[in-house]
Amino acid sequence: MGYDTTVEVCGHGFRAMDCSALIESGMWSRDAVERQMSHQERNNVHAAYIHLAEHFDERSLMLQWWADYLDVNHNGVISLFEFAQKI
């Protein structure tokens, strides 16, 4: 992507930004976002019953929505809130 991760930005920063943006959009369930980010479940009982394929349809829509958001911002900045309202 052209960033020097030793001084500018790192992969974790992009993941944190993506996770926050997806949750704050209000369009996606927290569980679907967590599954997409591959975050580990901290509740051991819940973790025993979670499968990676959970929320597959929602996650597919989420990825397309995120790609569309990035495409729109390629030509000019639009806030996440404004973009979410247009859908």
The string of pLDDT tens digits covering residues 17-61 is: 888 888 888 888 888 888 887 756 566 666 666 555 677 888 889
Closest by CA to 58, choosing from 31, 80, 20, 21, is 31
User: Range with the lowest mean pLDDT among 4-8, 48-52, 72-76, 79-83?
Assistant: 48-52
Q: What are the tens digits of pLDDT across the range 51-75?
A: 556 778 888 898 898 899 889 988 8
| The pLDDT value given to residue 80 | 77
**Its pTM surpasses 0.85:** no
3-state helix, strand, coil in the chain (%, to 5): 60, 0, 40
Nearest-angstrom CA–CA distance, 60 and 25: 16
- Residue ranges of domains in the chain: 11-86
- Cα atoms found within 13 Å of the Cα of residue 23, Cβ hemisphere only: 13
The contacts found for 67-72 with CB under 8 angstroms, 24 or more apart, are 69/21
